[in-house]
Amino acid sequence: MSVLHNRISNKELKDKLYQENFPRTTISFYRYFNIQDPTLFRDDLYKGFNELQVFGRIYVATEGINAQISVPTHLFENYKAYLYSIPGLDGVRLNIAVNDNGKSFWVLRIKTRNKIVADGIEDASFSMENKGKYVNAVQMNALLSSPETIVIDMRNHYEYEVGHFTNAIEIPSDTFREQLPMAADMMKEQKDKNIIMYCTGGIRCEKASAYMLHHGFKNVFHLEGGIINYANQIKEAALESQFKGKNFVFDERLGEKITEDIISKCHQCGSPCDTHTNCKNDGCHLLFIQCPSCAETYAGCCTQACTDIVHLPIEKQIELRKGIDKGQQIFNKSKQRLRPRLGIDI
């Protein structure tokens, strides 16, 4: 019987990854299409990907698939042939990572969900069949040069903070389900303008474009393949990038340099910096931006309180974090400061 789940510890898996003597290619892809039995689809996909030594994080739902993976480079063509043989996925666009060390994932995880993007949409008449027009890098740059164009970033604040398109509007929320109605409301007086929506790999902005059309907007576009595809296209065509800074990615790398611009600051000292990290305190793991100097000063932690904790004996650290629900810990400028941890004021 085939094993359809990982049964090895993360530490062992990471060690095995770094012992591999072959390169890996990091890829992302998605497609909205009907999957009648997500569980069966998931199990078949796991068996096929596992045989090809694919690592990554994949979500499957009745509305489609969303995947971020790494593939042994020497097996890339085998992987592509297998993927394109799956009904509904033939010819799906593969976004190849811009800056890739091949260490983005160390295990294969495929999960079924209600939706591949949590959107909060309950309107039964909403359909992904009516979506905005795709634009490529050349078209994106041309539209951005027009005063009749509004560009909307459909990513979270921590993504926007380290890199975004020139004059892009940030939707001030860290959940996609909140951003959709906010975007429609913010743009309600601009229905005659060209509205371009973008995100990391295309999946969120494609759904956002359909949402805007559903709410009466007319000239809606979305960046095909998102920032990742845009970065590859401008490189191939030797175009000037209108995206400045770093593209945040959801794997071990936490970012891809698109341009050398550093548009964000260290959350601790305010010096120019665009390096995201997770607080080293296991009772915190806050995602925040930290420069090398502050990383040394605070031992990779977000506050002095967390630094003090990581210097305690392991047993004491475990005792302190008992019963704590970290939830989603992300530094947000609206909080004005790093949040307290473990009941200790900052």
Question: Burial letters for 94-110: b for 16+ Cβ neighbours within 10 Å, e otherwise?
Answer: bbebbebebbbbbbbeb
**Residue 199 annotated among the catalytic residues of the structure:** yes
What is d(CA 143, CA 160) in angstroms, rounded to the nearest whole number?
20
Say how many CA atoms lie within 13 Å of 72 toward its Cβ. Answer: 14
Report yes or no: 227 and 144 within 8 Å, Cβ to Cβ: no
The gap between the terminal CA atoms of the chain, to the nearest Å, is 53
For every residue of 22-52, DSSP letters joined together read S-EEEEEEEEE---S-HHHHHHHHHHHHHHT
* β-bridge partners, 150: 195
145 Cβ partners below 8 Å, 6+ apart? none
In the set 199, 266, 273, 306, the catalytic residue is 199
What is d(CA 297, CA 292) in angstroms, rounded to the nearest whole number?
9
Q: How many CB atoms are located within 10 Å of the residue 253 CB?
A: 17
CA distances from 112 to 60, 66, 132 (A): 5, 10, 27
For every residue of 258-302, DSSP letters joined together read SSS----B-TTT--B---EEE-S-TTT--EEE--HHHHHHTTT-S
Which residues are designated catalytic? Answer: 199
